[in-house]
Amino acid sequence: MSKMDVTRRGVLKTGAVAGGGLMLPTYLRAAGHEGFTNAPTGSTVTLGFNVPQTGPYADEGADELRAYELAVEHLNGGGDGGMLPTFSSKALEGNGILGKKVEYVTGDTQTKSDAARASAKSMIEKDGAVMITGGSSSGVAIAVQGLCQEAGVIFMAGLTHSNDTTGKDKKANGFRHFFNGYMSGAALAPVLADVYGNDRKAYHLTADYTWGWTQQESIAAATEALGWETVNNVLTPLAATDFSSYIAPVLNSGADVLVLNHYGGNMVNSLTNAVQFGLREKTINNKNFEIVVPLFSRLMARGAGENIKGILGSTNWHWSLQDEGSKAFVKSFGTKYGFPPSQAAHTCYVQTILYADAVARAGSFNPCAVAEALEGFEFDGLGNGPTLYRAEDHQCFKDVLVVRGKENPTSEFDLLEVVQVTPRAQVEYAPDHPMFAGGALGTCNPGA
């Protein structure tokens, strides 16, 4: 953690009380804020923002931190309130959370699971954080979610797109607002078939960790169901920066589509290498060679520059949406920082608001009371249309965007166009879907 973080910890949580040492079989005493990990005892409550400040996803992490700071400002009654006025729930009053001023500490996940767990552990044990949120890697999210389950605090996941986060690795103390690989496949595949045809041969390059594996499985299954053939899937290290050796074999594979299951700096580098190899100028199987990036964001589009033009993918949210919640958030974020927010910023802001709202509705910071308030919660006004936090797996279900890199952007921020807003019903699935099998939600852990 940085010196600033250390300073914040010292100022905000000197002598933090970890639940008062009480052991209760239930959370019946929740209203009194006793018997759970880091029960707030003073006039403040501390949240832990654990983001990638270094590593391949650092751009996302920086925007996440901006959004968290904005959310805290709004919760404490500052600024213009952002999405609080558009949020369908009216439990928050702009006086902190349950009257306690919101403070926060930050950590650097480094996009490494061990580092992320260590950072989260420090925020819980040393800083008294009652909730942990953040991350831009599913490997990190799954690791920290497991830690929060053990520690007895709520984990509000940031960017995590692996099916496993709310599938085989789901936890009762963990909640995900972001969409997942299955949803990307369900939204994107029909558009790919419409634009590129049903008779396509796809070559996948896939980040070698839980997110890449489940996204590749999802995209392959969804496209194969519409007639595509998957000719190869090659795993690439998360730490890779030059993908030239992985791109060269594509030319001799018989594939006419390259699917890049990469995110952040990985995607920027692999797409750049693919364009440098001239793939987009090739004609294979009497078809124009195409490149698909199933998950991308404005931050990645900016990094990829000209190479992103015409590339199709999916995203959780985009600043050009015209619903009242999105417009309010874009205005608030833009006023504070001078540019529009990314999907990373949006989902992290929303997760913070949803946590605070659940505490307010439950009347308690007890994680089990908070979990109960979030499970099955239906809401609107936060930028994704009517949304459900499903009780069975703690996954949010909402509309999904299919986007394409703009051919003629008007600014450095106007890089993506929304091709389709895929309705929630098209991306929903049963809790026992095979891609999400193998784990159990378990029971909430209040900790102390």
What mean pLDDT is predicted for residues 343-349?
96
Q: Where are the alpha helices (DSSP H) in 227-283?
A: 244-247, 264-276
Distances (CA, A) of 79 to 3, 62, 67, 73, 346: 27, 20, 13, 7, 17
Reported as half-sphere exposure (CB side, CA atoms, 13 A), residue 358 has a value of 27
pLDDT digits over 223-278, tens only? 999 999 999 999 999 889 999 999 999 999 999 999 999 998 899 999 999 999 99
Pairing relation of β-strands 287-288 and 283-284? antiparallel
pLDDT digits over 364-413, tens only? 999 999 999 999 999 999 999 999 999 999 999 999 999 999 999 999 89
pLDDT digits over 61-96, tens only? 999 999 999 999 999 999 999 999 999 999 999 999
pLDDT number for residue 34: 63
pLDDT number for residue 119: 96
pLDDT number for residue 56: 83
Are the CB atoms for 157 and 141 separated by under 8 Å?
A: yes
pLDDT number for residue 149: 98
Pairing relation of β-strands 257-261 and 290-295? parallel
What mean pLDDT is predicted for residues 330-344?
97
Q: pTM for the full model?
A: 0.90
Which residue do the tokens 């009242």 mark? 324
pLDDT number for residue 287: 97
pLDDT number for residue 264: 87
Are the CB atoms for 109 and 61 separated by under 8 Å?
A: yes
User: Comparing C-alpha atoms, which of 437, 442, 391, 441 is closest to residue 217?
Assistant: 437
pLDDT number for residue 342: 94
pLDDT number for residue 424: 96
Distance CA 288, CA 66 (A): 41
DSSP state of 441: -
